Amino acid sequence: MTQITDTRFNITSADGQIDAEAFHPEGNGPFPAVILFTDIRGSRPVYSRLAQKISALGLYVLVPHVYYRAGPAPVIDPALPVQDESVRAQRQALRAALTPETLSRDFAALTDFLRSRREAEANNIGVVGYCMSGAFALRLAAEYPDRVRAAASFHGGGLATDAPDSPHLLAPRLKARLYFGHADHDASIPAESIARLEDALQQAGADFESHVYDARHGFAIEDAAAFDRAAYERHFGALTTLFGSTLLAS
């Protein structure tokens, strides 16, 4: 079994200190880098376990706390019920603060941090996001097209909307190989939005795969009510193939 080093950092950004966790195989590397963004419930052990598993492929995996502006993780106890209206309102408020502009500043801090780490290949980056952060993966890939070689979204929401800053409008800027694992009958990205996303990517000549899994929104996250073991394994196999054919291929 691959031995994984787990280290915690405070990363300086324009808006404060991002508390983050990083994982890499034993040794100095450098290893291709992956930025893993969490869902709306934020940083928690399930993502640390996932990061360790991804790292065992031979990768340096960085997991930032996306709500650092409100305090170190966890800002809201991730064990609180998803259905609780007050908890949902708090999470939505935290999510609303993650605008394209604030995310751009975070991306700059995270990619600069990777440049500072001898264990990481800062010009050979992958990014993966879940639920709300599927859009983050696309945005980061569009901002750093010459450094991000692979990007993935699993049960990502809001990827193709009528908003003037909708992620699908970034398609012409994307150079990374892309993978989308959508949930079936997902209110956060209905079938017509998936078609809109795919059309934008095709028109831009993007290198992508898009699949609808026979599973509910949240299928890839082990502590989610909708967790689906078969869909999880399929998602991890897709990640393994994506990162293997891009980050680990050179």
Find, among 248, 145, 247, the residue nearest to 204 by Cα: 145
Taking residue 110's Cβ as centre, other Cβ atoms within 10 Å add up to 22
Which pTM was predicted?
A: 0.98
- Say how many C-beta atoms besides its own lie within 10 A of residue 224's C-beta: 20
Among 35, 182, 150, 47, residue whose Cα is nearest residue 103: 35
Instruction: Give me the pLDDT at residue 66, please.
Output: 98
Sequence letter at residue 85: E
250 falls within a domain: no
> Domain with 219 in it: what CATH number?
3.40.50.1820
Instruction: Examine the pLDDT at 199 and tell me if it is beyond 90.
Output: yes
Domain assignment present for residue 202? The answer is: yes
Residue 63 counted as domain residue: yes
Q: Residue 226 contacts by C-beta under 8 Å, 6 or more apart in sequence?
A: 183, 215, 216, 217, 218, 219
Is the pLDDT at 1 greater than 70? The verdict is no
Residue 83 confidence (pLDDT) above 90: no
pLDDT average, residue stretch 17-28: 96
91 located within any domain: yes
Measured between alpha carbons, how far is 94 from 236 in angstroms, rounded to an integer? 28
User: How many domains does the chain fold into?
Assistant: 1
Domain membership of residue 230 as a residue range? 4-245
Q: What is the mean pLDDT of the chain?
A: 97
DSSP classification of residue 187? T
Query: Mean pLDDT across the stretch 4-29?
Result: 96
Establish if 64 belongs to a structural domain: yes
| Structure confidence at residue 28 (pLDDT) | 85
Measured CA to CA, the distance from residue 154 to residue 232 in angstroms comes to 10
Q: What is the mean pLDDT of residues 187-208?
A: 98
Read off the pLDDT band of 2 (50, 70, 90). confident
